[in-house]
Amino acid sequence: MIGSSGILTVDLILSAFFTVTISTLVSGEMFRAIKGAMNKNRLEAELESAAQQNSQVYGLA
């Protein structure tokens, strides 16, 4: 078998290491995407609130 060291313990440790590493990368990318979407929604809400306050101050509404 390619990549097999012949020692079960070493193979299991390496498999666990790569599994955890890949899982962490995927989770990190998902977190970054969700965080970006939340920041975008927050910014849009702040801009909308500021626009409404400005229209009330200047009597544009």
The confidence score (pLDDT) of residue 16 equals 96
- What is the Cα gyration radius of the chain? 25
The reported pTM is 0.62
Does pLDDT of 46 surpass 90?
yes
DSSP 3-state of 49? helix
Rounded CA-CA distance 10/60 in Å is: 71
The confidence score (pLDDT) of residue 20 equals 97
More confident residue, 30 or 51: 30
Placement of tokens 């998902």 in the chain: 30
The confidence score (pLDDT) of residue 1 equals 54
Model confidence at 12, pLDDT cuts 50, 70, 90, reads very high
